[in-house]
Structure 1
């Protein structure tokens, strides 16, 4: 399979349009059509329906392979590129909303203060985007969070070697509006909330499919969807009765109208990890060292 044809196929599926994919890739619509036709001929299967534009059954199967393959290619290019060039004057950080804790903000500020000429940027985004940024070199270091068992690391794609270590860990909780009947409980069982109304906010809270897997049950249907990484905006929706969400116990501390009730079962924690390439830039290495827990810290690596 030609990687460029594969990239064109993913763009067509993502945009549900040949013309929109062409604009995004900087191609003509004719070139996009030729790429798809060549890929279909190579794989001897129709991959995309034309009206409407959508993946066929074979296209859906290919899509499961295409994204990891393209990410691995981009990660390989970035990994080799680091051997011949560095960016000592830049520190680009990609961070999920739940990972941008006061301790992280203070560490970034200390690194910036120590190097006045260093161009520092922090981009808040979803976990997949943050990890991809660290793999492909658009970020020098990433901070990601998620819900895992107490002894487990965050699940990461096997696209390229990344150094990862935990810097924070606390109990996971359910965010409820202050007037919710369960808001006064000392703890909640996740499986008991499968039929509740949830907010689907994969970039700002624990994704609902992860809750289903943790509870080993169906349910957790979304009352509404929230596309964004603004945690305060998510809390506003929770407070207004838009649905429940799962996040770190202390994440909503001080937010009016929201109560965080810890989970008693299954035992899950909210874990924050630092991720960087095996050959980080000097500024990224300095920030990683500033964030690394001491021997007496509570997070493991």
Structure 2
């Protein structure tokens, strides 16, 4: 590898035609320029200049290196400019992996706030449910992963991942609007023991089974889908009821369904996960900052 200072000095010697002129242009002493050129010749492995009378000329190796020196300096300047821009949050790219309900609620507002504060940062969106999303983060396929967990779910989080709490999301029951229990302000879970159920992703299904067991029954799971629109359609047709987070109710659009809080009160916890060393990356830290702000606004949904 070549020392960038030596390359810059070499370029100035070639431009001005002498060590002394290069020293004046760079603010160095002539011996300092001489020493730098000797060091560069050691790195190159060949003489770059030969003296001709009182002057000097480039050797064949010097002429070859001169053709590359300008390109080397331009590339280094461009790299420095890009690093400065990253440090000042003018640019950057972050890969964010989110589960569907977060992708429909937390993520859009986060990206809008990020664009207003740091328009040069770009975010690539990926979608996956936990724990697959955490495995993708550990493999380096994303920079931030949004995931959730339930009180009865015990899982191991790899040590290299930092867990950042965002919010707690109350569980609700999605009912047909004409359902008798839809008139209640809240619904007790054991009152739904005789219903057919629509289960979600494996983690959500496991929680449904856990909560139902706590309430003293085994749910009749008739359908399984993690598509929130499909869940709404199935519930609207009276084909079952569903346990959903309150966050999903914020984008509930079907007129024939309604959501009611469940009793006893249960909340899922939503976290952002990031590799520990990525916390020092300015663009990643900026996305996390906006995620925290949006989550704080949505707490209590």
- TM-score, normalised to structure 2, is 0.58
**2:142 paired residue among 126, 133, 139:** 139
Paired residue secondary structure (1:271): strand
The residue that corresponds to 1:110 in the other structure is 113
The residue that corresponds to 1:285 in the other structure is 285
Give the 5 Å matches for 1:188-199.
188-199=187-198
**1:269 paired residue among 267, 270, 276:** 267
Structure 1 CA distance for aligned equivalents of residues 150 and 243 of structure 2: 9
Structure 1 CA distance for aligned equivalents of residues 227 and 159 of structure 2: 29
Query: 1:163 touches 1:276 (CA, 8 Å); kept in 2?
Result: yes
Which sections of structure 2, spanning at least 5 residues, go unmatched? 1-90
Matched, 1:157 2:156: yes
Query: 1:177 touches 1:240 (CA, 8 Å); kept in 2?
Result: yes
Distance apart, 1:297 and its partner CA: 6.7
Which sections of structure 1, spanning at least 5 residues, go unmatched? 1-87
Query: 1:99 touches 1:145 (CA, 8 Å); kept in 2?
Result: no
Query: 1:135 touches 1:160 (CA, 8 Å); kept in 2?
Result: no
Q: Deviations over 1:118-154 (max 9, x none)?
A: 44211222222222222221111011234438xxxx7
**2:126 paired residue among 123, 127, 138:** 123
Q: Deviations over 1:248-278 (max 9, x none)?
A: 225234422221110121x211332211111
Shift in alpha-carbon separation, 1:156–1:275, aligned structure 2, 3 A: farther
Matched, 1:210 2:207: yes
Structure 2 CA distance for aligned equivalents of residues 119 and 104 of structure 1: 13
- Corresponding residue pairs, total: 203
Shift in alpha-carbon separation, 1:220–1:107, aligned structure 2, 3 A: same
**2:234 paired residue among 225, 231, 237:** 237
Shift in alpha-carbon separation, 1:158–1:147, aligned structure 2, 3 A: closer
The residue that corresponds to 1:72 in the other structure is none
The residue that corresponds to 1:166 in the other structure is 165
Matched, 1:90 2:87: no
Structure 2 CA distance for aligned equivalents of residues 210 and 103 of structure 1: 22
Query: 2:134 touches 2:145 (CA, 8 Å); kept in 1?
Result: yes
- Computed over aligned residues only, the root mean square deviation of the Cα atoms, in angstroms, reads 3.0
Query: 1:250 touches 1:260 (CA, 8 Å); kept in 2?
Result: no
- TM-score, normalised to structure 1, is 0.58
Shift in alpha-carbon separation, 1:194–1:134, aligned structure 2, 3 A: farther
- Greater gyration radius: 2
Structure 2 CA distance for aligned equivalents of residues 145 and 224 of structure 1: 22
Structure 2 CA distance for aligned equivalents of residues 259 and 196 of structure 1: 16
The residue that corresponds to 2:174 in the other structure is 175
Structure 2 CA distance for aligned equivalents of residues 190 and 208 of structure 1: 15
Q: Deviations over 1:56-104 (max 9, x none)?
A: xxxxxxxxxxxxxxxxxxxxxxxxxxxxxxxx84311111122235443
- Higher mean Cα deviation, 217-226 or 136-145? 217-226
Structure 2 CA distance for aligned equivalents of residues 108 and 162 of structure 1: 23
